[in-house]
Chain A
Amino acid sequence: MTAYLIRRAIGALWVVVGVAVTVFVILHLTGDPAAVMMPLESTPQEIAQFRHNHGFDRPLWLQFGTFAWSALHGDFGDSLRHGEPALGLALERVPASVELALAAISLAVLVAIPAGILAAVRRNSLLDILARVFSLIGQSMPVYWLGIMLILLFGVQLGWFPVSGIGGLKHLVLPAITLGLFSMAKVMRLTRASMLDILQSDFLRTARAKGVLPLRLILHHALRNAWLPIVTVIGVEIGSLISQAIITETIFGWPGIARLAVQAIYDRDYPIVEVVVILAAVSFVAINLLVDVLYAALDPRIRYE
């Protein structure tokens, strides 16, 4: 097991390196931040000066080398836009994004899983139909639309929640729903499908035939078998949360890292884009590694050689 984990960790490292190289190449080949950062009326000398100040006039491999070397020491350079260290700027924003992501995942897990179980157990009942409709709508609704509708309805018309910014629990509600709805719908659908599979398995059919169907038994047996795909999906969903967070954080003015990243991409603020992408890749592989470990821990049948 340990050997497996070490191999996986090394593999994950390669992924991060791959991502770092790719993002570096893409950024430097598709647009010159000097032209974007400097005001339109700057002279060519000023632009050249800017490029020189930030080392953009050196050969690409040299730039990458310097970047990689400093990155290993935790220095990702200064943001072109803010003039402050990029890593610091990014890390400042991480707690806010994590807060939002946790809220969204919690919704997915705490609401969707029980709902999916109930829907499966009470198959074809009103609850089940509502749940299926909800999950289908949730998976085909554009995030932007949802966010604005929630703002208009619950924020402006009803005045129940604030429409912008970070603050207490009240500020978290609308953004969390916006970010989490897609995942909620997906997890609910998957839970329901997995539960249905389990419920129709021979073991449970026999139990039902014998007239014994305590809820506890269902939950115990079903969950033990259904958690695998569910955990898989949650792991994957966390990855997709990042791209959805971009829209959500922008709409709700949430001071998170996705919003920083969008602005940075727009500006071609290299250091920030690089730092954010690498951080995202690191968390992505870390979460997947964690999920795999969880697999092994929770199911003795799964063994990695």
Chain B
Amino acid sequence: MFNRRLTMLVLAAFIIAATGGSVTLVPAAAADTTVTISQGVDPVTMDPLKRTITPTTNVHYNLFDTLLRHDRDGKLIPWVATSWKRIAPTVWEFKLRHDVKFWNGDPLTSADVKFAIEKIKDPAEGSEQGPRIATVDHVDTPDAYTVHYVTAKPTAMIAGYPWEVFIVDSKYWKEHGDAYQAEHPMGSGAYIFKSWRKDESLVMDANPGWWHGRAPIDHAIWKPIPEAAARVAALRTGETDIITNVPAQYQIQLSGGRSTQLESARSVRVLFFAFNTLKPGPQQNRLVRQAFNYAIDVPALVKAVLGGRGYETATPLPSNFFGYDAKIPFYKHDLAKAKALLAQAGYPDGKGLDMVLNAPSGRYNKDKEIAEAVAGQLSQTGAKITVKIQEWTQYVNQVSNRSVTPIYELGWGNDSYDADNTLTSLFTASARLSTYSNPDLDKMVTDARYEIDPQRRQAIYSKALALIHEEAPWLFLFEYEDLYASTKRLVWQARGDELIYIDEMKLNG
């Protein structure tokens, strides 16, 4: 940086001298702007077609382009694809821009999109992104700038999120092979990959030829800091500019800090406890499930454990998802009603109820504390509740084979902004994660997935949500509010889908 400045000055002096001082002084190059971002973990790979975890994909979102993008409110906006429409019952057509180039100059064409989708679909690749394009049967490319997603059955656009696939340079990939991509990505995105020292720092430079226009910030450094307290400390000392996953107890310190500001975004992640209704026990009784819902005081829980950073939910869906219905009533805290329902179910004063509440530790924000607090609240009905905490690996194994019972904690978030993913994965009988089975609900979900008319679709979802509310297969708790913090010199707003686009940032003043 210093050398560049000097060079520019010398050059300027030279020019002035050469032109006899009649040219205005060439201004010295503005100082290079760099933003440092600290997430809790390092990205795992630079191969963008394999993983779905946010800290990794966040980096990819800045290196690669996608067909479309979500704006902050969750609305789809044109991106590399300028238009999208269904031209036949099972064909969605995307028209691509003509001016998108990869960093090495290769033009981005429909062949690249097709290549990416096929890589994800290939079982030998072991990509986690399969569910995102599950509705796409195959891709046709009628010409270099037109992409056809051909679906197995007529599908509403929003189901799944096949437009979020990262577009890679198929020519480069074929030349260099799979393993090379993991460390040497070739993208067309706002930032060019420069270097990566694992667990230390990943550096990227602004792409001057980006089709959207060069991003304001010159360089970005991704520096992972696993420990929350250390992350906060690093922000306060100025060693980093943005930190993610800020625990609620730092909110006062950071929002009132000299050089720091707090950012928050309503998350798409919902935390809940599920009842394993497939296993024998009192949880199979709907009255017991409803009673427990009345026993929980969610606002008090959110205030005490999350510092107020959460939104009570009445349904499994975040409020900005398609399918959400604001008219579904909340299970407001009512201990008397809870006890009455329990008595009705045959457990007066909770006598005879001895249940285990299962929870992981360190997987979701404050998961263990929430479990303890929920257990405490449930105990007030007189039932005996024991909390069992396990580390994530053991826990997820039991969740996966549906052996964890009778009550267990889970978090769910996806950035599809659509009800289908949540309802299918968590409530339908065939889903690996669902411990609830109701053929009526299954039918509603399937019907809605293939219903094209948005209004009829919403109507089906409203009915489904009402059914879920009545049946109470969950203890409905809350949506998280994600906390981020940044240095005051940065102008940036956090997003609910946890994505960090550096091209959305700029420096103050």
Assess the B227–A263 pair: CB atoms within 8 A.
no
Name the contact of B396 in the complex, choosing from A40, A53, A81, A263 (C-beta under 8 A).
Answer: A40
Assess the B226–A166 pair: CB atoms within 8 A.
no
Q: Which of B190-231 contact A (CB under 8 A)?
A: 197-201, 223-227, 229-231
Residues of A within 8 A of B412 (CB): 40
Q: How far is the CA of A257 from the CA of B299 in the complex (A)?
A: 43
Name the contact of B393 in the complex, choosing from A38, A89, A252, A266 (C-beta under 8 A).
Answer: A266
Write the nearest CB–CB distance from B238 to chain A, whole angstroms: 9
Type the 1/0 row for A157-176, where 1 means its CB is closer than 8 Å to any CB of B. 00100111110000000000
Write the nearest CB–CB distance from B479 to chain A, whole angstroms: 17
Write the nearest CB–CB distance from B243 to chain A, whole angstroms: 11
B236 CB within 8 Å of chain A: yes
Name the contact of B226 in the complex, choosing from A42, A81, A93, A250 (C-beta under 8 A).
Answer: A250
With both beta carbons as reference points, the residue of chain A lying nearest to B363 in the complex is identified as A266
Assess the A165–B131 pair: CB atoms within 8 A.
no
Assess the B393–A267 pair: CB atoms within 8 A.
yes
Assess the A39–B131 pair: CB atoms within 8 A.
yes
With A42-B128, A89-B198, A93-B198 already in contact, the answer to whether A32 and B397 are too (CB < 8 A) is yes
B48 CB within 8 Å of chain A: no
Residues of A within 8 A of B226 (CB): 250-251, 253, 259
B234 CB within 8 Å of chain A: yes
* Partner-contacting stretch, out of B39-47, B66-74, B161-169, B288-296: B39-47
Q: How far is the CA of A260 from the CA of B224 in the complex (A)?
A: 13
Q: Which of B391-442 contact A (CB under 8 A)?
A: 391-394, 396-397, 399-400, 410, 412, 414, 421, 425, 431-433
Write the nearest CB–CB distance from A147 to chain B, whole angstroms: 8
Assess the A41–B425 pair: CB atoms within 8 A.
yes
With both beta carbons as reference points, the residue of chain B lying nearest to A35 in the complex is identified as B400
A140 CB within 8 Å of chain B: no
Residues of A within 8 A of B236 (CB): 156
B182 CB within 8 Å of chain A: yes
Residues of B within 8 A of A49 (CB): 123, 126
B462 CB within 8 Å of chain A: no
Name the contact of A36 in the complex, choosing from B44, B227, B233, B396 (C-beta under 8 A).
Answer: B396
Assess the A81–B44 pair: CB atoms within 8 A.
yes
Write the nearest CB–CB distance from A134 to chain B, whole angstroms: 25
With both beta carbons as reference points, the residue of chain A lying nearest to B50 in the complex is identified as A83
With A32-B397, A155-B233, A164-B233 already in contact, the answer to whether A82 and B44 are too (CB < 8 A) is yes
With A41-B433, A163-B239 already in contact, the answer to whether A151 and B229 are too (CB < 8 A) is yes
Q: How many residues of B contact A (CB 8 A)?
A: 51
Residues of B within 8 A of A260 (CB): 199
Assess the A250–B45 pair: CB atoms within 8 A.
no
Residues of A within 8 A of B223 (CB): 164-165, 253
Q: How many residues of A contact B (CB 8 A)?
A: 47
Q: How far is the CA of A163 from the CA of B243 in the complex (A)?
A: 14
Assess the A163–B237 pair: CB atoms within 8 A.
yes
Name the contact of B199 in the complex, choosing from A46, A93, A268 (C-beta under 8 A).
Answer: A93
A142 CB within 8 Å of chain B: no
Assess the A82–B400 pair: CB atoms within 8 A.
no
Assess the B227–A250 pair: CB atoms within 8 A.
yes
Assess the A255–B237 pair: CB atoms within 8 A.
no
Residues of A within 8 A of B126 (CB): 49-50, 53
Assess the B393–A268 pair: CB atoms within 8 A.
yes
Residues of B within 8 A of A92 (CB): 198
Q: How far is the CA of A267 from the CA of B393 in the complex (A)?
A: 7
A148 CB within 8 Å of chain B: yes
Residues of B within 8 A of A83 (CB): 44-45, 47, 50, 182
B52 CB within 8 Å of chain A: yes
B124 CB within 8 Å of chain A: yes
Assess the B239–A164 pair: CB atoms within 8 A.
yes
Assess the B237–A162 pair: CB atoms within 8 A.
yes
Number of A-B contacts (CB under 8 A): 128
Assess the A255–B230 pair: CB atoms within 8 A.
no
A31 CB within 8 Å of chain B: yes
Q: How far is the CA of A43 from the CA of B44 in the complex (A)?
A: 23
Q: How far is the CA of A252 from the CA of B231 in the complex (A)?
A: 9
Residues of A within 8 A of B227 (CB): 250-253
Residues of B within 8 A of A156 (CB): 233, 236-237
Type the 1/0 row for A61-86, where 1 means its CB is closer than 8 Å to any CB of B. 00000000000000000000111100
With both beta carbons as reference points, the residue of chain B lying nearest to A53 in the complex is identified as B126
Residues of A within 8 A of B414 (CB): 41
A44 CB within 8 Å of chain B: yes
A47 CB within 8 Å of chain B: yes
Q: How far is the CA of A252 from the CA of B230 in the complex (A)?
A: 7
Type the 1/0 row for B119-147, where 1 means its CB is closer than 8 Å to any CB of A. 00001101010110000000000000000
Residues of A within 8 A of B231 (CB): 164
Residues of A within 8 A of B179 (CB): 84
Assess the B198–A253 pair: CB atoms within 8 A.
no
Residues of B within 8 A of A33 (CB): 393
Assess the B229–A36 pair: CB atoms within 8 A.
no
Assess the A152–B393 pair: CB atoms within 8 A.
no
Q: How far is the CA of A42 from the CA of B227 in the complex (A)?
A: 29
Name the contact of A255 in the complex, choosing from B47, B131, B199 (C-beta under 8 A).
Answer: B199
Q: How far is the CA of A83 from the CA of B127 in the complex (A)?
A: 11
Q: Which of A1-51 contact B (CB under 8 A)?
A: 30-33, 35-36, 38-44, 46-47, 49-50
Q: How far is the CA of A145 from the CA of B276 in the complex (A)?
A: 39
Assess the A251–B131 pair: CB atoms within 8 A.
no
Assess the B432–A36 pair: CB atoms within 8 A.
no
Q: How far is the CA of A81 from the CA of B230 in the complex (A)?
A: 25
Write the nearest CB–CB distance from B10 to chain A, whole angstroms: 30
Name the contact of B225 in the complex, choosing from A36, A84, A253 (C-beta under 8 A).
Answer: A253
With A41-B131, A253-B223 already in contact, the answer to whether A159 and B230 are too (CB < 8 A) is no
Assess the B237–A46 pair: CB atoms within 8 A.
no
Name the contact of B230 in the complex, choosing from A36, A42, A164 (C-beta under 8 A).
Answer: A164
Assess the A40–B433 pair: CB atoms within 8 A.
yes
With A164-B225, A253-B224, A253-B226 already in contact, the answer to whether A155 and B44 are too (CB < 8 A) is no
Residues of B within 8 A of A165 (CB): 200-201, 223, 225, 239
Q: How far is the CA of A195 from the CA of B344 in the complex (A)?
A: 77
Assess the A152–B233 pair: CB atoms within 8 A.
yes
With both beta carbons as reference points, the residue of chain B lying nearest to A54 in the complex is identified as B126
Assess the B233–A163 pair: CB atoms within 8 A.
yes
Residues of B within 8 A of A259 (CB): 199, 226
Q: How far is the CA of A43 from the CA of B433 in the complex (A)?
A: 9
Q: Which of B339-388 contact A (CB under 8 A)?
A: none
Q: Which of B225-280 contact A (CB under 8 A)?
A: 225-227, 229-231, 233-234, 236-237, 239-240
Question: 8 closest pairs, A vs B, by CB?
Answer: A255-B199, A35-B400, A41-B425, A253-B225, A255-B200, A31-B393, A163-B233, A164-B234
Q: B residues within 8 Å of A by Cβ?
A: 38, 41, 44-45, 47, 50, 52, 123-124, 126, 128, 130-131, 179, 182-183, 197-201, 223-227, 229-231, 233-234, 236-237, 239-240, 391-394, 396-397, 399-400, 410, 412, 414, 421, 425, 431-433
Sample of 13 A–B contacts (CB below 8 Å):
A35-B397, A38-B128, A40-B399, A40-B412, A43-B432, A49-B126, A82-B45, A164-B223, A164-B225, A165-B223, A253-B230, A255-B200, A260-B199
With A33-B393, A41-B432 given, name 9 new contacts (CB 8 A): A30-B394, A31-B394, A40-B396, A82-B182, A165-B223, A250-B226, A253-B223, A266-B391, A266-B393
